């Protein structure tokens, strides 16, 4: 068995498979052996589809030998985040709630990739229902240091790709669930334009923010995967019949004439210095490669995280409410408390979140009328130890505001910390212009060696400086939570849940209150009599 096949990119494997130099069966066997060796340590795969994968690989080999080559993903292994249905395989969403469920048909994503000839090696670990904990199947570990987090919610997808268990994986992104794990694990993750990829057969977290996205070790591989994932879905009314560009065609075009927008220094307050330095060094490299750099103002995005949080979890609560009443104890505490906390928001607060969404969307589109791509860190800090609270509040987030806009955003490696942890930068583009962020990302990637580095997959030393815990103040009482639960008939919420819910919702309400005051200064009502 040739274990070196695990380390070859999909873009490099494809022409060799087509010529018959490499067999899809050999590739599948090599990757399955690597999964068997490392999955217990990394916990990336929930379900390994060994027998069916080998059968599909053999079928792909026969078709190619007969001249029935389907395209560059024919015979290439892929794995899916386990909220994405694959016919005949379990979908667990990393939860006890739907344990035993077997998908009767493919999701739109799985169907398109099956048609392209991919070989599905299995289903990948995640935060419960894309927003809880990983208690059911165990915490996915970061291949660069197994004491560190992988981020969420597409944890297993990022770790499996980074650990060379799979060349391509699917993920979903609501507030950064593709881009965040890509940053922490040193891989490429793309959130495409909303409506680019069909969502039928994917368990929703937020109907208006969710999208599926490709995850890979190189930008070229992500473009290859997006090419087959993209397209209208008759079962998803939110998909748009927007003609898909050939996302791989313009990858190698130069950056001459490309305008890169970099927010001013105030935008980066609170960012880890190693992350900030890596992103600024990457921007200088983009300038050397021919792009022009322009400072841009994105100050209104400060309330984007609270807006995204409110919209996402209000919609998630609506989706899960009936099941909460029947299976409250089957959900992990982390998920049920986070999602029910959104039920404590008022109509006015939810309305404020929607207004912020409109303002931020207009602001990003205004700036992208001046530049081709906006560059920010993907995440403000590197990976931190498993079990430790995030060093920064969820209200300070570079990914959530972008999710509100529906714009495409790419996370790709741009360096490492002194402790050997990956750093990613985020490239944000115009609606339907994924090819631009992919092109900029690819040109940068090919001028560096970050994507060629391999993790050791062993426990590593903890970072020299431990991040401080979030200092968000508790502004909501447990008593108030129980009163709100009683008013809304949420009798499944117990006194044990009230304190954690209060801690979660307090910072959100505080940020929304600030957002409301800010909106009154920039978007005054046209009817003063109603303003009071």
Concatenated DSSP letters of 71-104: -TTTT-EEEEETTB--TTSB--TTSSTTTT-B-S
* 473 a catalytic residue: no
Per-residue confidence (pLDDT) for residue 532, from 0 to 100 = 41
User: Looking at per-residue confidence, does 1 or 337 come out higher?
Assistant: 337
Q: Look up 299 and say whether it is catalytic.
A: no
| Residue 222 predicted with pLDDT over 80 | yes
The region of weakest confidence among 93-97, 191-195, 383-387 is: 383-387
Largest Cα separation within the chain, whole Å, is: 77
Contact status, residue 208 vs residue 175, Cβ threshold 8 Å? no
DSSP state of 386: T
- Predicted pLDDT of residue 523: 54
Domain at 3-240+259-301+357-452, CATH homologous superfamily: Amidase signature (AS) domain (3.90.1300.10)
pLDDT, position 527: 39
What pLDDT is recorded for position 157?
98
Provide the pLDDT for residue 375.
98
Residues of the chain above pLDDT 70, percent: 94
Check residue 9 and give its pLDDT: 98
| Res 459: pLDDT | 84
Kindly indicate the confidence band of residue 216, based on its pLDDT and cuts at 50, 70 and 90.
very high
**Tokens (6 digits) for 532:** 């009071």
Task: Choose the weakest-confidence range: 205-214, 246-255, 275-284.
Answer: 246-255
Residues 6+ apart with CB under 8 A from 414: 278, 279, 281, 282, 423, 424, 425, 444, 448, 450
As a whole number of angstroms, the distance between CA 391 and CA 286 comes to 30
Among 23, 107, 131, 153, which one carries the catalytic annotation?
153
Domain segments of the chain as ranges: 3-240+259-301+357-452
- The pLDDT assigned to 133 comes to 93
Q: Which two tokens stand for residue 440?
A: 């900029």
Q: How far apart are CA 12 and CA 20, in angstroms?
A: 13
Among the options 154, 155, 177, 393, which is catalytic? 177
pLDDT at 121 over 50: yes
Question: Can 99 be counted among the known catalytic residues?
Answer: no
Annotated catalytic residue: which of 23, 81, 131, 307? 81
Judged against a pLDDT cut of 50, whether residue 530 lies above it is answered with: no
- Condensed to tens digits (0 to 9), the pLDDT of residues 410-465 reads 999 999 999 999 999 999 999 999 999 999 999 999 999 999 999 988 888 876 64
Which two structure tokens, joined as six digits, stand for 323?
Answer: 């099941």
Mean pLDDT of all residues in 314-341: 96
Q: What torsion, rounded to 10 degrees, do the Cα atoms 377, 156, 4, 67 define?
A: -100
pLDDT at position 393: 58
Asked if pLDDT for residue 531 goes beyond 90, the answer is no
pLDDT tens-digit series, residues 131-157? 999 999 999 999 999 999 999 999 999
Range 219-233 average pLDDT: 96
Flag the least confident range among 22-26, 231-235, 349-353: 231-235
Rounded mean pLDDT, 520-528: 56
What pLDDT, on a 0 to 100 scale, did the predictor assign at position 394? 62
């Amino acid at each position: 068995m040739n274990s070196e096949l695990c380390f070859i990119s999909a873009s490099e494997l494809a022409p060799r498979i087509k010529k018959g130099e490499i067999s899809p069966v050999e590739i599948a066997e090599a990757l399955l052996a690597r999964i068997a060796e490392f999955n217990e340590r990394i916990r990336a795969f929930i379900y390994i589809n060994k027998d069916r994968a080998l059968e599909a690989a053999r079928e792909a080999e026969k078709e190619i030998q007969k001249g029935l080559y389907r395209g560059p993903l024919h015979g290439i292994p892929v794995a899916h985040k386990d909220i994405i249905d694959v016919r005949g395989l379990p979908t667990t969403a990393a939860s006890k709630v739907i344990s035993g469920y077997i998908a009767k048909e493919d999701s739109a994503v799985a169907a398109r990739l099956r048609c392209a000839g991919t070989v599905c090696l299995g289903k990948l670990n995640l935060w419960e229902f894309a927003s809880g904990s990983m208690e059911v199947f165990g915490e996915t570990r970061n291949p660069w240091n197994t004491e560190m987090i992988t981020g969420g919610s597409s944890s297993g997808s990022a770790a499996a790709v980074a650990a060379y268990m799979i060349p391509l994986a699917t993920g979903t992104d609501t507030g950064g669930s593709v881009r965040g794990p890509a940053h922490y694990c040193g891989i490429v993750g793309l959130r495409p334009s909303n409506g680019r990829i069909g969502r039928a057969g994917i368990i929703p977290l937020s109907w208006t923010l969710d999208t599926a996205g490709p995850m890979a070790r190189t930008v070229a591989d992500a473009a290859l995967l997006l090419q087959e994932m993209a397209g209208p879905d008759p079962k998803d009314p939110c998909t748009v019949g927007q003609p898909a560009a050939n996302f791989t065609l313009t990858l190698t075009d130069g950056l001459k004439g490309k305008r890169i927008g970099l927010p001013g220094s105030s935008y980066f307050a609170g960012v880890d210095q190693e992350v900030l330095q890596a992103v600024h060094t990457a921007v200088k490299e983009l300038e050397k490669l021919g792009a022009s750099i322009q400072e841009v103002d994105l100050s209104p995005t400060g309330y984007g995280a609270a807006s995204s949080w409110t919209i996402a979890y209000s919609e998630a609560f609506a989706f899960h409410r009936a099941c909460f009443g029947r299976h409250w104890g089957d959900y992990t505490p982390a998920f049920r408390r986070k999602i029910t906390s959104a039920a404590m928001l008022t109509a006015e607060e939810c309305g404020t979140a929607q207004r912020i969404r409109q303002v931020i969307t207009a602001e990003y589109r205004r700036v992208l009328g001046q530049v081709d791509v906006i560059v920010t860190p993907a995440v403000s800090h590197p990976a931190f130890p498993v079990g430790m609270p995030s060093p920064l509040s969820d209200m300070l987030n570079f990914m959530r505001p972008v999710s509100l806009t529906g714009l495409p955003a790419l996370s790709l490696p741009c360096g490492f910390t002194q402790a050997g942890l990956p750093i990613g930068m985020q490239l944000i583009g115009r609606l339907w212009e994924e090819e631009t962020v992919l092109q900029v990302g690819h040109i940068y990637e090919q001028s560096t060696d970050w994507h060629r580095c391999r993790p050791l997959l062993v426990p590593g030393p903890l970072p020299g400086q431990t991040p401080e815990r979030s200092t968000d103040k508790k502004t909501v009482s447990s008593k108030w939570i129980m009163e709100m639960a009683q008013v809304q008939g949420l009798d499944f919420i117990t006194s044990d849940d009230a304190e954690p819910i209060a801690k979660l919702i307090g910072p959100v309400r505080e940020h929304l209150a600030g957002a409301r005051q800010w909106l009154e200064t920039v978007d005054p009502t046209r009817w003063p009599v109603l303003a009071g």
